[in-house]
Chains A and B, each alone.
Chain A
Amino acid sequence: MAKKAVITGINGPVITLKGNTGFKMAEMVYIGKERLVGEVIRLNREMTTIQCFEETTGLRPGEEVESTGDAISVLLGPGILNNIFDGIERPLSEIALRTGSFIGRGVSVDSLDLSKKWQTHITVAAGQKVQGGTVIAEVPETSSITHRSMVPPNLSGTIESVKPDGEYSILEPIATLVQADGTKTELTLAQKWPIRVPRPTEQRYPAAKPLVTGQRILDTLFPLAKGGTAAIPGGFGTGKTMTQHSIAKWSDADIIIYIGCGERGNEMTQVLEEFGELKDPRTGKLLMERTTLIANTSNMPVAAREASIYTGVTLAEYYRDMGYDVAIMADSTSRWAEALRELSGRLEEMPAEEGFPAYLASRLSAFYERAGYMHNLNGTEGSVSIIGAVSPQGGDFSEPVTQNTRRFVRCFWGLDKSLAYARHYPAIHWLTSYSEYLEDLAPWYKNTVSPRFMEDRTQLVSILNTESSLMEIVKLIGSDVLPDDQKLVLEIARVIRLGFLQQNAFHPEDTCVPMEKQFLMMETILYLYERSRELVALGHPMSVLKEDPIFDRVISIKYDVPNKEPERFQEYHDAIDKFYDDVLARN
């Protein structure tokens, strides 16, 4: 049954077997006496090559490798949320119970708790025709998410019998399906799916709704659509992880899959702790109730790091199929690319740019293309949005991972070192970043927020652009010599930078800002600009205007006006009018 072969060579995580073993590509195998988990990555008549997802220290040539017949896959079912897994869906808390504070090798644990009984409501009846994706049962997985178990995508037929509502564990049969050819299949709450194969859908929709994150520079300037893809590139210390954390905490996705791919152990611990305490502002439930963490820290085996991205996106697609909006944080895709490079080097493949394998671009595009706003097989709509952090070598955006990522994402949030040095967070630079979703999302903003939204946004961006060209002059000759209207542009740009773009993730009001307040802030700043411009046109110098504290008052709107009291913006409107009258009266 299970095919077996003998190890002949070991080089780090790469293991070779001699002869035609009859293994299949991408098949999962057990290696050696310790039964380490591995995957077949290359086959030819003389040799089979395997990558091992665990440390290979102590492995010997001559030990046996056993095939499982299945592609490397994940178990999908209730129990995924509010959990933390390694790169191949092994729950880390279970591993901790088995091997203590350090992760041991060859630990065989079930991906999901097989013994737990879930309160199940069956949603199909005997005699009903079903197809791939049809929801067969509903389970309250956490207090905020209902889990919908479905017919696996490749099956269809008629339900022959069902069990009554009640408590079932995830592998207990709850219904019997008869396919057209007469084969019977027992359906359970859980199903398996290979991680490298996208789950099928009916069709893809164009982007139409934004993923609202509560971050001003993202929502207003460079919005990401639900089902869209974004990259956050930045050198170390520029705030990639902080930005990812903010989005994971405050975005209006239903489910968050957070992949810590080759990152720091302490960071994952922080997410675990923090998300276990913070509440989702929309549902009032703990954030962890809608979150799954995949942690393959930088010192965990490199092959599992490569797999972790696929594991994450497969989990996301599964929840999308239930009709949820899922957002994936992949921190960081560069570590994943480096895992590819490391394995490619061990396989002695011909390197392309900077030692990365030539297939880097195609792997990246295949990953990002798994995002999308989809019409699912069962008729529901759901989305997978991917937000990938990129850690460019030396902070240089011209390196291969950043460049190739740029080709496949439509939203680019470039982090800037000099902003980070000045502790301007989020350090997303408004001149290098862009979003191709703007036009797609314009109708949404017009209908949902305000018809003026897009105009205001354009004006904001143009002020910032003018500032940047004026700064070129200021750098050469100082700001004193500028005419007053240009000085005003600099001042307003300062208000925008400090009062709008800068956002304090640790301030209770400022950490997440609703769309309405974002719009009103923008309106207030632009109204201040308009009135000041009138004054300047009447010949009042900037030095007089700046005597009034109104500019600094507008800057601190973000702290002073609570998110729930948008009516208070009227006070600022009046204050700006008063400032206008005062200046006129005094001069």
Chain B
Amino acid sequence: MSIEYLGLSEINGPMVVLEGVQDASYEEVVEFRGQDGSRKLGRITALTEDKAVIQVFAGTENMSLMNTQTRLTGRPMELGLSAEILGRTFDGIGRPADGLGPINADVMRNINGLPMNPVSREYPRNFIQTGISTIDGLTTLIRGQKLPIFSGNGLPHDKLAAQIVRQASLGGDTNEAFAIVFAAMGVKHDVADFFRRTFEESGVSDHVVTYLNLANDPVAERLITPKVALTAAEYLAFECGMHILVILTDMTSFAEALREVSSSNGEIPSRKGYPGYLYSELATLYERAGILQGKPGSVTQIPILTMPNDDITHPIPDLTGYITEGQIVLERSLYGQSIYPPVSVLPSLSRLMKDGIGEGYTRADHQAVANQLFSSYAKVGDARALASVIGEDELSALDKTYLEFGKAFESRFVGQGDGVNRSILETLDLGWELLRMLPREELDRVDTKLLDEYYKG
């Protein structure tokens, strides 16, 4: 069945071209064997008559046109899965990398997955308490949501993700099985190490599945890593009934890898050299979050991406924002004032928040407090702009109050610190405490009944 082909007709970056192929299929996995017996895997990305363009995962170093043997496996890229993967570490294409031997697979799954049928989805409504005021109070994370962290180089996004893992996993209903799938794409060794340590310290490491493609690992593998991780997450969630939190870091490296491979393929670039299918490619990853009717588990995603040059309009954060259900944006100037977590409140958003908060979920006044904090904090910006022109002394009494409110909001509500785990009620009460700094008539987003109840304190 498996015919071997000898020799290649072209090698270009991570791509090779093989001619005279018979009966190859699109996206099929192929295996190369070099002269020295080394093995590499690849995937067919284009087929024209008898010519196949193959992406080599481990990079094309050391391959020669002459003595390379190629074998078609007859299968698309598949991943062997069983509950044993919990606590294990794999490389970027799902091979064990911790020296603990292979996995006894119960099932084989195509890593490309299939789109969830919107009819079979269940609308996410379950609030996850992260213990972080800006997230719980203002951009609430919901089970089954995809909520990315937009960050920049040098900002503490890893620390924030680690804090979410630590505090979200230990909170609330411990009866339900909870696990983390961690996929690292093109990250530095110390980042991967940081996460490993965090998982150990918070005692969850036997519930973590790790897929590592480090910064010096082959680029073509990087395109596979998130797919492998999400395939594992879907398996654990929908077949083992666990609640899965997927952390994908760094999506920017993934997109860069896509651009690199695309350009060596000679494809027509669209924005900033990224291929036209960047949106579809990102969407097929992010849309793999959710809850299905009649299945106990869920997949929640926290992708992390570093915005090139802190530019939120760059194609990667831009397209991500259009797919994900909100975003948590980190800001350099807050970080400069040693405020941690430096969450830039105004551009941050959670789209699923409105249906997962309020009476019966968190507290009846949640939405009103959040709206009022957003609106009042937006006014702080206006007051600051004015102060920078005419000087703080010239401001009206009201504008001065806003400046004080803004300062207190940033230092107490936003800058809660690394070790602090606040319950949602504490967060809301703190919100009211800050709002009480402002005169009552300025609170125009809260209806009279709630004001009567909470404004007095």
Contacts and interface: CB of A to CB of B under 8 A. Distances in A.
A342 B277 contact: yes
B216 to A, nearest CB: 29
Interface in A94-121: 95-96, 99-105
Contacts of B394: 478
A568 interface: no
9 contacts: A11-B46, A101-B238, A272-B119, A342-B276, A342-B279, A345-B277, A417-B347, A421-B378, A423-B371
Contacts of B84: none
Contact residues of A: prevailing secondary structure: mixed
Interface string A277-309: 000000000000000000101111010000000
Nearest to A395: B313
Given A300-B115, A341-B270, A264 B313 contact: no
Given A299-B287, A335-B279, A265 B115 contact: yes
B189 interface: no
B24 A423 contact: no
A268 B65 CA distance: 50
Given A266-B145, A477-B390, A559-B447, 9 more contacts: A9-B47, A57-B27, A95-B119, A265-B121, A269-B121, A269-B123, A338-B280, A393-B315, A478-B395
| List of 10 A-B pairs having minimum Cβ-Cβ separation, nearest first | A394-B313, A355-B270, A298-B283, A422-B378, A236-B321, A299-B287, A102-B114, A9-B48, A421-B346, A268-B118
B199 interface: no
B120 A100 contact: yes
B423 interface: no
A394 B272 CA distance: 13
Contact of B115 (A18, A57, A84, A102): A102
A16 interface: yes
Given A103-B114, A354-B271, A423-B445, A61 B47 contact: yes
B123 A355 contact: no
Interface in B37-53: 46-50
Contact of B444 (A10, A93, A104, A555): A555
A351 B119 contact: no
Interface string B74-98: 0010000000000000000000000
A57 B110 contact: yes
B428 to A, nearest CB: 17
A476 interface: yes
A270 B318 contact: no
A183 B328 CA distance: 66
Interface string A46-74: 00000000011111111000000000000
Contacts of B375: 422-424
Interface stretch (B177-185, B218-226, B245-253, B290-298): B290-298
Q: Is the interface of B mostly helix, strand, loop or mixed?
A: mixed
B117 A480 contact: no
B14 interface: no
B378 A478 contact: no
B23 interface: yes
Interface residues of A, number: 82
Interface in A334-359: 335, 338, 341-342, 344-345, 348, 351, 354-356
Contacts of B351: 237
A262 B49 CA distance: 32
A393 B268 CA distance: 19
B74 to A, nearest CB: 10
B7 interface: no
B271 A355 contact: yes
B20 interface: no
Contact of B119 (A11, A96, A344, A391): A96
A102 B115 CA distance: 6
Interface of B: 23-28, 46-50, 76, 110, 112-124, 144-145, 238, 267-271, 275-277, 279-280, 283-284, 286-288, 290, 292-293, 295, 312-315, 318, 321-323, 325-327, 346-347, 349, 351-352, 354-355, 367, 371, 374-375, 378-379, 385-386, 389-390, 394-396, 399, 441, 444-445, 447-448
Contacts of B121: 265-266, 268-269
A12 interface: yes
A348 B283 CA distance: 23
A295 B117 CA distance: 9
B377 to A, nearest CB: 9
Contacts of B325: 264, 266
Nearest to B283: A298
Contacts of A11: 46-48
Contacts of A295: 118
Interface string A342-384: 1011001001001110000000000000000000000000000
Contacts of A480: 396
B76 A57 contact: yes
Nearest to A302: B280
Contacts of A474: 386
Contacts of B49: 8-9, 18, 61
Contacts of A44: none
B287 A297 contact: yes
A475 interface: yes
A60 B25 contact: yes
A92 B119 contact: yes
A295 B283 CA distance: 15
A407 B7 CA distance: 55
B354 A506 contact: yes
B47 A10 contact: yes
Interface in A385-425: 391, 393-396, 417-418, 421-424
A312 to B, nearest CB: 15
A423 B355 CA distance: 16
A58 B279 contact: no
Contact of B28 (A58, A62, A354, A417): A58
Contact of B283 (A9, A262, A476, A555): A262
Contact of B26 (A58, A92, A236, A424): A58
A18 B110 CA distance: 30
Contacts of B24: 60-61
A10 B313 CA distance: 33
A549 to B, nearest CB: 8
B276 A10 contact: no
B26 A272 contact: no
Interface string A290-334: 000001011110100000000000000000000000000000000
Contacts of B123: 266, 269-270, 273
Contact of A55 (B112, B292, B352): B112
B444 A236 contact: no
A94 B299 CA distance: 25
A356 to B, nearest CB: 8
A476 B389 contact: yes
A56 B114 CA distance: 12
Given A264-B325, A478-B395, A102 B268 contact: no
Contact of B117 (A18, A59, A95, A418): A95
A498 interface: yes
